[in-house]
Structure formats: C-alpha cells, structure tokens
Amino acid sequence: MGATLTHANEKLAYTLSDSGTYLSYKTDLDLVPPLVDKGDSLLNVYSAMMINPEKYDYVNSDMAREWINFLITPETQEFIGGFGVDTYGQPLFFESRGNFDVMGITQAEAETPIPA
C-alpha cells in the first residue's frame, strides 16, 4: 500500500488506501487530503478463525485458540484501538470490542473466548 501511495504521489494521481498506511506516509506525500475517509463501506476487517481440530487434527489448535483468545482480551483490544494515536493523532486500527454490529458479527464472536 505504501508503494501505491508513493506511485500515486509521483504520478499526481488518485488511489485507494487504508487509513493506517496513509497516515504513516502522509508527511512524505503531496497528495490531496482523503476525499472519503468515513463510512461503513470503508470497513476493512481483519479476522482470526480457528480451524476445526476434529476435522484437521494436525494443526496446532491449542496455539490458535490461545492467539484468538489473546486478541479479544480487553487489554489487547484497548491496545489495538489506541495504536498510532500518539504518533498520528488517531488510531491506525479500530477494536472489535463494541463494534461487532458494524463488522457483521455477533458480540459473542467478538468477545467470547474459545473454550479448551
């Protein structure tokens, strides 16, 4: 994405970019400010999904479970939601906690740990 922004800058062109990459590159660019930077249509969800260990017994399902459970802890979600604020004045990512309805998932999917 950074290379795309740099290329658009060199060509005086428009491009699409995620907010986080734009914020981290904008001091090196002469691009016009974003024309659209809000709205559900810009949602870019990162997901973690555990593979069914009964179907695929050779995968490390314990590690997958621990990783997913770590990602949904309030502490990790708070870190994600605050990442970039000190440097860019706004977060580079948004937490799923409290935003599950916008993401099209249930609260349980966003916040309930996977049992062992």
Q: Each residue of 46-88: pLDDT tens digit?
A: 889 999 999 999 999 999 999 999 999 999 999 999 999 999 9
Closest to 81 measured CA to CA, from 90, 71, 97, 94: 94
pLDDT at 102: 85
Sequence-distant (≥ 6) Cβ neighbours of residue 30 within 8 angstroms:
9
Contact 42, 36 (CB under 8 A): yes
The reply to whether 53 and 97 lie within a common domain is yes
Number of domains present in the structure of the chain: 2
pLDDT at 56: 95
**pTM (two decimals):** 0.79
Contact 26, 90 (CB under 8 A): no
Range of the domain at 109: 45-116
Contact 110, 47 (CB under 8 A): no
The reply to whether 59 and 105 lie within a common domain is yes
Q: Report d(CA 94, CA 115) in Å as an integer.
A: 25
